[in-house]
Amino acid sequence: MTAPDPVALLDELVRGRRSVRRYLPRPIPRADLLAILDTARWAPSPHNTQPWRFALLTRPELKEHLGVAMARRWTADLTADGLPPEAVEAQVSRSRQRLRGAAAIVIVSLYLGDLDQYPDPTRQAAEQTMATQSLGALVQTLLLAAHARGIGACWMCAPLFCPDVVVEALHLPRDLIPQALVTLGYAAAEPPARERLPLAALLALDD
């Protein structure tokens, strides 16, 4: 038997992943959820500080509780933006339905406690930016780890807009800064691939 070609495998995983937003009403085995998080933690981070923490939610009551808390803040924000009440209601209830429909939710938070300390604010800000950047690597690794197991996922930015609400609703430690929410579940349908810019359009310099 020949060993699988790692380049082909990786390419297939990366190119075949989709943001899955509608799920079947089917739970994900806990072992799979933990295995996904276990793989995600191998993402690179500045000085290997691993400035991330997870909150894993599977209980419907807890997902609902988080959904209600975030919806309250989002409703206030959209109303203050001047959006008509029906439009606010439509957007917020669609988002709540997404949380309800997911078999599991992972909240990814930034933890700054182990970052290097600098005497000047410029380098300190760069250190924090690095930590935030590494969260992106973590989430992408998580998405791929789910996809490799046949589990769909979608990265949602909602916690970024209301980190205090998420900490409060889930009783998370106060030193965590929620940055992302990932819904997980078995896809109800295969979403179409979204176009990418051609490589030539991305090469600002190719010397």
Ligand X SMILES: Cc1cc2nc3c(=O)[nH]c(=O)nc-3n(C[C@H](O)[C@H](O)[C@H](O)COP(=O)(O)O)c2cc1C
Q: By C-alpha distance, which of 75, 26, 63 is closest to 182? A: 63
Please name the residues in contact with 92: beta carbons below 8 A apart, sequence gap of 6 or more: 71, 74, 75, 78
If the CB atoms of residues 5 and 190 are measured against ligand X, the closer one turns out to be 190
* CB nearer ligand X, residue 18 or residue 149: 18
Give the number of other CB atoms < 10 A from CB of residue 6.
Answer: 8
| Interface ranges with ligand X (CB under 6 A) | 18-19, 21, 154-158, 191, 194
Task: Please state, in angstroms and rounded to a whole number, the distance separating the CA atoms of residues 61 and 52.
Answer: 25
Pick between residue 18 and residue 41 the one whose CB is nearest to ligand X: 18
CB 42 → ligand X: shortest distance, Å? 19
Spatial separation of the C-alpha atoms in residues 148 and 83, rounded to whole Å: 40
Q: Report the nearest approach of ligand X to the CB of residue 127 (Å).
A: 20
Q: Where do we find the tokens 């965590």?
A: 176
Residue number of the CB atom closest to ligand X:
19
Closest CB to ligand X among 124 and 148?
148
- Smallest gap from Cβ 198 to ligand X, in A, equals 15
